[in-house]
Structure 1
Amino acid sequence: MFLLPARWFHRLNKDGLANQFFMALMVTIPVLNFGMLLGWQSPMTPVLQDPEGPAPEPISDETLSWMAALTFLPPIFCGFHMGNLIDRWGRKNFTILTSLFLAISWSITLFSLRPWALILSRVVAGFACATCYVVTPLYLKEIASDNVRGALGSLFILAQNMGYLLIYLCGDLMPFASVMWMCTAVPVLHLLAFLAMPETPVFLIKQGKFQEARTALAWLRNTTIDDKNLEEAVQELEREEEYTKSMEQASFKSLIQDKTRFKAFRIAVNVMLSQETCGYLVVLTYAGSIFEKAAETTSLNLSPNKQTIVVGALQLMGSIVASCIVEQTGRKWLLACTSFVTGLSMLTLGLWFFLSSVSFSLPGWVPVFAMCLCIFADAAGYQPVPYVIMSEMFSFQYRGTATSLIISGTALSDFLQTKAYDPLLKLLGIHWVFIMFSTICFLGTFYTILWVPETKGKTVTEIYEILEGKKEDEEIGKEVSRL
């Protein structure tokens, strides 16, 4: 019995999986802290608007609206350049830069709670958003062995949702000042600790640092630098780099000129936009209203902070499920199933709001169940899987460029949704908003089934052969490339 944990660790460390998971956790700490930053506004809004609170003056709803929206403004404009910069300066340096931006953002809020400082803090955090949403999926992809590529890739959303839950709990249990100091300490400590972490072997090969690449890869796979399999992997990376150098430099023009590569780009854009415009933020916004309605006919009566904790726990549970099953189910069908369940839940909520508007009430557990199912399904696949697919659809040469372009587009989508939400709500009514978002989810399911290839365990070459129709979408044998 006492030997069981040791056996689990030995099994986990086979082929360096323990080292890879540790590295993945280190890489995703900035994402966790960014999730804390996004979630901070929910438990802290009553505190900031309290005339007796820590702010010099109560913060208006308009300021809070701009705080939420401006976080996504910098990625729209600087995201286009992020891919080239990351390919030039490295994944490690930009991960450190992400923590630096987050530390500055929290520090501004720590020392001033005036409206201008809160807005400036969010603008600085927007630069962290631009870096972490591009560099983290790439980092996870390039340090992972093929058999855990999806599991490590899904840690991106898991870390973000863990950040939400952590800030919800701390906001409910800790004093305001203690929360602020804790949030500031996380990126500062990460910045210092990450200095000792290795760069990705793929980037080191690109820089001509072959010995450093061998050392980094040997640590990630828990082997020696003279291991035969390791040498073969390094040689394959070198061959891929030579092939990359023989091709023209990656750009948007070269991305769209190649028919197959542009098809992969369209697929990645569509799955990411479907994820970003599915209405998940609306569900989170109206969670409090749903809990209040449910309390009228059930014994479920939670304070606003307890409601956000329940929501955060559901998000975290869904993310854990995604990390555990993504390698078993594959990307395609996990994305299709969770987008369908999310759409079904949205449709149920839309019908419930409509029936409530005409004084026809359903049992209180119906909307609560639909909301919980929506949050869980979204976190279990609809949110994390598109990031995994996006990182697997391109070779190293185009991965940074494609990812930065896609993240810029999704940031624009988030900004427009945040600012257009209230006008849309007043124009259509909440029930039609939910029904509209459910339609987007169902269209995403339809698109995934028909056009998204299964990328699990496949190289970029094999994925492109599927897109070209040269191979059927099935398991294609052992991979010859680790890029």
Structure 2
Amino acid sequence: MFSLPMALTFCEIKIGKIHQKCTLKWNESLVCSMYHLLPVKWISKINDGGISTQFFMAMMVTIPVLNFGMLMGWQSPMTPILQSPNGPAPEVITDETISWMASITFFPPIFCGVFVGDLADRWGRKITTLLTSLMLVMSWSITLFSLRPWALIASRAVAGLACAGCYVVTPLYLKEIASDNVRGALGSLFILSQNLGYLLVYMAGDMLSFASVMWICTAIPVVHLLAFMTMPETPVFLVKQGKVQEARKALAWLRNTSPDDKTLEEEVQLMEIEEEYSRSVRRATWKSIVQDRTTFKAFRIALNVMLSQETCGYLVVLTYAGSIFEQASESISLKLSPNKQTILVGAIQLLGSIVASCIVEQTGRKWLLASTALVTGMSMLALGLWFYITSLSIWLPGWLPVAAMCLCIFADAAGYQPVPYVITSELFSFQHRGMVTSFVSSVDALSDFVQTKAYDPLLKLLGIHWVFIIFSSVCFFGAFYTIMWVPETKNRSVDEIYALLEDGRQKEKRKDIENDETSRL
């Protein structure tokens, strides 16, 4: 039998164990409840699968795009300064020079876009990105050296080479470093970075001196040029070069795992299989794209969605933003300086781009593109009707065009601008991706150049209301085309996307056969 002290000791031990178990269970429940808190859960989620590393890499890749956005936006706050008799320029910059500065940037990409794509396939995505930053450094340096008309135009021409690099190699880089579950979000960072560049230079132009803005804009590509040398090449390109071990290490860093991970090994093997297939067939040519009906159908889809995006009149809305604010201020208490107006427009652009990055993986590419194209078209139509009705001396409230313009800018940035780049990069294998992206980039540059030079004659010939109405019809056509013929590419491989395109073609064949049989009967 137990003595009283022994019994008490036994009870103490039992009570201690029960207390320890309860404490452990309480701690476990506390950890679980803490995990389900949004910030902790979100941090755990972004670390899983290297999502945080991929976003970091994507931000590094898109810094040249951000700086190019700064270069394009720089003209807005700096034009009044350059045209001022007391400005830093040795002579007053004329409207003709400003017009050429706006349009010449899109002229070099018309011809060199194809060569940039070939360069990215031969020398790699990393070297081409470094060359893009180098072109930006050269462009800003010319402007630092001289502000004479020839220097300003030459600076923009050099920036056109950087434009080709941004619009060709950056979407490829983003696609080839991303996991399937974040491919759309990383792809949409392309336009987000560009719009962030616009907003930053608008704010800098409003708060800082002319010289300070120039030095900040020059420093960004210089720092990127040095920092990006430490970044890895895309695993897809390394496999193409036969550097499988380097590809495995780069992929392990991007996925936040070890090089021996089984899932990682499967991904590398898929890349090797794709590369072996591309080597087994003849070198990719335009003839091979045209002859393969499914690939040619994908090419037509990519070209159409990109052309719809580029010719939707977005540049015209941005150009006419000041006039809309001015006319709206006559009927509502909206008194903003020109710089404050551009900052507001830039903020709306950036907000739309952030929304696109957050929802593109939930909504999918197809319906986000179709819905934002439709909203952009409705906003354009509202602007056109407002200008037409007010031209007939009929009063309409001034908040209508401001609301329509803000909705147009938001919808365009939230889907109509970024999604076509994502779709184009996902529609093609490595074999054709560089060729198609560079060609589409050249066509887009030609479209932008024609729009910027033909805008004033078109405005004088038709009037601003018809210009907006025409652009709205382009948006409506883009929405209709997307719904009818653009496949959903979210979380699908190229083979799965082509199977969808082939199934659509087979359905058309079956309909033709049924119609023939019916006519025979």
* TM-score greater than 0.5 by the shorter chain: yes
Return the offset for 1:8: 3.0
Choose from 192, 215, 233 the match for 1:158.
192
Number of aligned residue pairs: 473
Return the offset for 1:139: 0.3
Residue 228 of structure 1 corresponds to: 262
Return the offset for 1:10: 2.5
**What pairs with 1:53-72 in structure 2 (closer than 5 Å)?**
53-72=87-106
Return the offset for 1:470: 6.5
Choose from 343, 365, 389 the match for 2:399.
365
SS class of match (1:154): helix
Residue 168 of structure 1 corresponds to: 202
SS class of match (2:230): coil
- Whose Rg is larger? 2
Structure-1 separation of matches of 2:75 and 2:99: 10
Structure-1 separation of matches of 2:118 and 2:151: 31
Choose from 193, 201, 214 the match for 2:235.
201
Aligned partners of 1:82 and 1:401 also within 8 Å: no
Structure-1 separation of matches of 2:455 and 2:319: 10
Q: Is 2:360 aligned against 1:334?
A: no
The two structures have a TM-score, normalised by structure 1, of: 0.96
Choose from 390, 400, 404 the match for 2:438.
404
Q: Is 2:60 aligned against 1:26?
A: yes
Structure-2 separation of matches of 1:332 and 1:470: 16
Residue 450 of structure 2 corresponds to: 416
Residue 272 of structure 2 corresponds to: 238
Structure-2 separation of matches of 1:5 and 1:393: 35
Q: Is 2:420 aligned against 1:381?
A: no
Return the offset for 1:82: 2.0
- Structure 1 counterpart of 2:263, one-letter code: N
Structure 1 alignment gaps of length 5 or more: 474-483
Choose from 278, 292, 308 the match for 2:342.
308
Structure-1 separation of matches of 2:319 and 2:468: 12
Residue 319 of structure 1 corresponds to: 353
Choose from 439, 454, 459 the match for 1:425.
459
Residue 312 of structure 2 corresponds to: 278
Aligned partners of 1:339 and 1:382 also within 8 Å: yes
Structure-2 separation of matches of 1:4 and 1:292: 44
- Structure 2 counterpart of 1:377, one-letter code: A
Aligned partners of 2:61 and 2:129 also within 8 Å: yes
Q: Deviations over 1:326-373 (max 9, x none)?
A: 000000000000000000000000011111211112101100000000
Residue 178 of structure 2 corresponds to: 144
Q: Deviations over 1:244-298 (max 9, x none)?
A: 1011111222221111101000000000000000000110111111111111111
SS class of match (1:335): helix
Aligned partners of 2:116 and 2:128 also within 8 Å: no
Alpha-carbon RMSD:
1.4
Structure-2 separation of matches of 1:134 and 1:304: 33
SS class of match (1:161): helix
Aligned partners of 1:465 and 1:471 also within 8 Å: no
Return the offset for 1:81: 2.0
Question: Structure 1 residues 176, 81: CA separation in 2 closer, same or farther (over 3 Å shift)?
Answer: same
Q: Is 2:72 aligned against 1:38?
A: yes
Structure-2 separation of matches of 1:80 and 1:90: 15
- Structure 2 counterpart of 1:136, one-letter code: T
Residue 113 of structure 1 corresponds to: 147
Q: Deviations over 1:412-459 (max 9, x none)?
A: 000000101101111101000000000000011110110000000111
Aligned partners of 1:466 and 1:472 also within 8 Å: no
Return the offset for 1:4: 6.5
Residue 478 of structure 1 corresponds to: none
The two structures have a TM-score, normalised by structure 2, of: 0.89
Q: Is 2:20 aligned against 1:9?
A: no
Aligned partners of 1:106 and 1:184 also within 8 Å: yes
Choose from 132, 136, 144 the match for 2:166.
132
Structure-2 separation of matches of 1:148 and 1:116: 44
Structure-2 separation of matches of 1:136 and 1:80: 14
